[in-house]
Amino acid sequence: MTDVILAPQIAALINQAGDLVMSCCDFMGRVLDAPDDVKEVRNEVAAFQNDIRSLESFVLNNSDDFKDVMNLSSSNGTLETAKSIIDDLAKYLDLKRSFPPAPAKLGRFQLDKMMWLMKSDHIHKFLDKLKSCRESVNLTLTTLLTKQVKKIENEVTQIGCRLTDQEKRRILAWFHVNDSYMRTMHANKRLQYEQNTCEWMHRNPEWAKWLSGPRCGHGHCRYIHIEGIPGAGKTVLASYLIEKSAEHCRSLGSTYYYCHYTRAQDETIPLLQRTIKDLMGQLAISMGARYIPKRMRERYDVDTELDTQDLLACLEDVSCQFEDGVRIIVDALDESRGRDNLLRVLITIGTDDRFRNVSLLTTSRIEPDIVESVQKLGHLCTIISMANPDVRADIRKVVHSELTKRHWTPKFTKEVEDKLVNGSKGMFRWVACQLDLLKRLEQRYISDEQVIRGKLQDLPDDIFKTYERILLEIPEDHKEFARTALALICSKSHDIPTAEILVEASLHYVPYGNITKYNVAALSKICGCLINVNALNKTPDSVFNRDNEGVVFSRVSLAHYTVKEYLFHPDTAKGPAKFFALEEKNLKTVYMTVVFNGLSHFRPGGGTAKKDPVTRFDEFCLQETERFLRSRERACVLDNDKLTSIVISSLKPCAPHAAFLKLQRGISRVMRDYFSTWNAMIHQLEIQPLGEAEVTDPVGVLVNLVHLRWNEMAERYLEHPDIKGLPRRTRDKLWTTTFKFKGNEYEHETLLMLCVRKRLISFLELFTRKGAYFDEESEILFAAMYDPYRHNSSVALALRMLRTMLDLGSGAKPDPTPSRPGGRYPPPEEASTLKAQFAFTPLQVATVILEYDLVEALLDGGANPNGVGTRNGQIPHDYHDNPDGPDCKYLCKMGLKTPLDICRLTQPPWANPGEKEALVASKRCDIERLLKRWGAEEPEDSEDSESGEVDGMDIDRELIDLTS
């Protein structure tokens, strides 16, 4: 009931305080040199309003009847007293009439100022009383928060007592967060820190309050936002502050998160997950036991993923376990995709009373939406700009430190230092690029002061012009290499594990005679300050056993987000450096061209050590092509003829990687699982296609495209020179050439039968349009109708296949004769005495299941309405799985009856005995009329037919179940 009683009273007080704050702000905006007393009134009343808001939030979120809160609302309590003080203060100030609405003239201003001095003492008496009320409210809030923390601690203790250590481990394993990338990124950013910089933050009193956390008491600064232009050094500053925060609290209650453009994701969920997991790990160390938040346990019990609100509840819970509070630093908000959600969550953490124990610091560029969001918070958020003299002083330190390494005269060193500092405009990034320019001159043994002075006379105005100059200075014979490397790094598909692999991948467009010129050192030298090359702390993972490689690996990344912005900017494509301009739509094509082309040069046994079966680049190409073939983003291939040809070549059974993977399949289950798509494609063929050599590869490619369900590429391939260049008679063999899969029951498969069995009607129709015919496919109609009630098939799909195959010119025979030798029936000793026929016809199969559309399609295609099967005839392969089963035996016996007789006797598999009698009867009548229309004749022995017995078998009791 507390919320019902207090909520209206608190809301009214908040509105009253808000009105007075707005009056003060309006007054200060309209009046020149407004008295400091008004500013003090505004600040004190705003602070009181914020405390009352915190009280309101607590009351609304906690319905318990707290005695301490009720005391505040008594008739002579704090809230009524504060309401009276604010009311009296507003009347006494009478701001709307104290000064005219326009800036006062000098005489009038001085007179009013003298009158105001007489009010000053009374104003301060009002403020002293209001401060007393505020202290009372804060004391109550502290008491309430303490009770709430104890309540949470009790709940956590109860949960902890109920959970065994094994259960806690399972929950933590379920809440899996991999933060190795975040730790690596922080380590790399620390390396960029220059000694004695960033120390200006320690002179800011808000930073000291932020570090102190809740212990700071009334003046606790909970939320700091640092903003600055691109290249101002925000991320390096963030890494420095992360270290200082960890040092201050001894790594207990301090965590961080770097947003980054390369992940191209909404960072909200990952940030909360990583923050909670990191803090839980710190608690486990300090408490000596694993800690599980209540909400996490609840979601684990029902196996439901934690959403944003769940994670916020977990963070609230976890943060209350740290007596000295929690400090969270989040860098580069602007690099999160769809950052509206992230901003809302961070503002909640930084201002909501639920997270009073959390100190939050964020950094970002000066983006309108971010600026507007933090400015709305007013005094709840301290905004620090990087555009300040201290940053300029840090830039001078960096420049001075670098220039003193050169053997220049002090005068010239000072001249260059001033030139760079004055031109930086607060951008560390700009300075870093100019220092790289000087380093390049030094590497070319250019140390003459006049030459260097000349280079510095025409420095670029901004960072984009700087990048343009760097790219234009790349030698002509290195440009292809540099462009490919930059494109691969910028690609969304970029997951190149090492710099060494990137170098080899970037050789795609380099003339063969020049490839030996390039290595990681050459890449670093050519691209200069556009990229960062960092040593990896551990050897990258590999599927293969790579003992004794003896190589120290490194990784390449863009030096700064602005490099990508420049390369993708529309003006770059129109400027002098347009050769290096990039477009998002082309990057995936470049990336896939490189990896598929690398696969075409696959070379087993080319690894670093003698035992290495393949190079790391070959392994990378296998991994990336495997991932790409499994993905749904394959359209880019069809837009590029060159890439289309490379991909097609990789799908041929004779491709360089095929023999290697076939061997590995036989000796390594890990390999088989790791490259499952490749293993299931060209490596699935147990033997080469049983046909002429010139159709072996085309059939293999088409088989793989069927496996990939990639009908667009199959259509493109059938127009490819590999196919169009074949004589017509050879092209016709594409559809009749047989092959076998490893472990497959079908010993002699064809492309057309494969499409039917996999129910791939789009491929079947495509192949028919491209000239496929069914003359030699004696069992294909049977296969189309086999078990049409499976979950991945349907009667409608079977009908579509039948019509495609029976269409004029397609060649499928509605009354086929077996072309496959040796069925289970007849016995070998009787086979020579019987004419080779099937045990039943396709029309009989369609009639057995009483499917009108299938019967009609077969009759339209020329099926004999009176045709019957042969006793002990051959059984189609698909129906051969269990020849002694009731379905196959039933079909064989029904095959001795005419379709009209079958129509009257059969019990279809979709109708259970005693059910759907009216529907079955209706279908019998429809099909009987259809058969008679096409010339079906009455059976000779109608009495036997009406009895419902065939060779002693009771038809009514024997159901067809083709799914068993």
Most confident of the ranges 670-679, 783-792, 810-819: 810-819
Q: Which amino acid is at 821?
A: P
Q: Collect all residues with Cβ–Cβ distance below 8 Å to 471 and sequence separation of at least 6.
A: 482, 530, 577, 579, 580
Backbone angles phi, psi at 534, to 5 degrees: -120, 140
pLDDT at site 292? 86
Among residues 559, 594, 364, which one has the least CA distance to residue 480?
Answer: 594
Question: Which alpha helices (H) appear in 425-559, and where do they start and end?
Answer: 428-443, 449-457, 463-472, 479-490, 499-505, 520-527
What is the H or E stretch that residue 945 is in?
helix 942-947
Which amino acid is residue 305, in one-letter code?
E
pLDDT, position 217? 57
Q: Residue 277: its pLDDT value, please?
A: 92
Element (H, E) at 359: strand 358-365
User: Across the chain, what does the average pLDDT equal?
Assistant: 81
- Secondary structure letter of residue 577 according to DSSP: T
* Mean pLDDT on 380-384: 90
pLDDT at position 948, please?
43
Angle between helices 368-375 and 340-351 (to 10 degrees): 20
pLDDT class for 833, splitting at 50, 70, 90? very low
For 594, the token pair is 């490189």
| Contact yes or no for 198/232 (Cβ under 8 A) | no
Do residues 608 and 615 touch, judged by C-beta distance below 8 A? yes
Top pLDDT among 263 and 606 is at 263
pLDDT of 579 reads 94
Question: Do residues 484 and 506 lie in contact, with contact meaning Cβ atoms separated by under 8 Å?
Answer: yes
pLDDT-based confidence at 512, cuts 50/70/90?
confident
Check pLDDT > 80 for residue 76.
no
| CATH code of the domain made up of 169-387 | 3.40.50.300
Of 265 and 287, the structure prediction assigns the larger pLDDT to 265
Least trusted range by pLDDT, from 62-66, 172-176, 543-547: 62-66
Phi, psi of 706 (to 5 degrees): -65, -45
Greater pLDDT, 42 or 341: 341
Per-residue pLDDT reduced to its tens digit, 754-784 = 999 889 999 999 999 998 989 888 999 999 9
Q: What percent of the chain has pLDDT over 70?
A: 81
Q: Cβ(342)–Cβ(267) under 8 Å?
A: yes
Q: pLDDT-derived band of residue 150, with 50, 70 and 90 as boundaries?
A: low
Q: Please tell me which residue, 44 or 155, carries the higher pLDDT value.
A: 44
* pLDDT > 50? residue 99: no
Tell me the mean pLDDT in the region 269-292.
Answer: 86
Written as one string, the DSSP assignment of 643-679 is HHHHHHHHTSTTSHHHHHHHHHHHH-HHHHHHTHHHH
- Reduced to 3 states (helix: H, G, I; strand: E, B; else coil), residue 360 is strand
Q: Which of the given ranges, 353-357, 480-484, 631-635, 944-948, has the highest pLDDT on average?
A: 480-484
The fraction of the chain above a pLDDT of 90, given in percent, is 28
**Residue 573: its pLDDT value, please?**
92
Residue 941 and residue 893 in contact, taking contact as beta carbons nearer than 8 Å: no
CA–CA gap between residue 250 and residue 239 (Å, rounded): 16
Task: Tell me the per-residue pLDDT of 209-236, one tens digit each, with 9 for 90 and over.
Answer: 898 887 665 566 889 999 998 888 899 9
Other Cβ atoms less than 10 A from the Cβ of 533: the count is: 16
What's the rounded Cα separation, in Å, for the pair 562 and 337? 16
Residues in Cβ contact with 963 at an 8 Å cutoff, skipping those fewer than 6 apart: 787, 789, 790, 909
Work out the pLDDT band at 118, boundaries 50, 70, 90.
low
Q: Which helix (H) or strand (E) holds 921?
A: helix 917-933
Give me the helices (H) in 65-223, please: 67-72, 78-93, 95-98, 106-162, 165-174, 180-191, 205-212
Q: How many CB atoms lie within 10 A of CB 150?
A: 11
User: In which band, very low, low, confident or very high, does the pLDDT at 791 lie, cut at 50, 70 and 90?
Assistant: low
H or E stretch at 283? helix 268-287
Grouping H, G, I as helix, E, B as strand and the rest as coil, residue 558 is strand
What are the pLDDT digits (tens) for 524-564? 999 988 998 888 878 888 887 776 677 788 988 888 889 99
Cβ burial, residue 631 (10 Å; 0-12/13-18/19+): exposed
Report CA 622 to chain centroid distance, whole Å.
Answer: 21
Give the residue-averaged pLDDT of 417-436.
87
pLDDT digits (tens, 9 = 90+) for 126-141: 788 888 887 777 777 7
Amino acid identity, position 721: P
Identify which has the larger pLDDT, 914 or 875.
875
| Residue range 591-628, pLDDT digits in tens | 889 999 988 888 776 544 445 568 889 889 988 998 88
- Give the whole-angstrom CA distance, residue 555 versus residue 535: 6
Strands 953-954 and 949-950, how do they pair? antiparallel
Structure-token match 């001249």, residue found = 415
Cα 403 to Cα 160: distance, rounded to the nearest angstrom: 59
Sorted by sequence, the CB contacts under 8 Å of residue 68 that are 6+ apart come out as 140, 143, 144
Q: What is the pTM of this model?
A: 0.69
DSSP string, 59-71: HHH--S--HHHHH
| Cα separation of the two ends of the chain | 65
The predicted structure's pLDDT at residue 610: 46
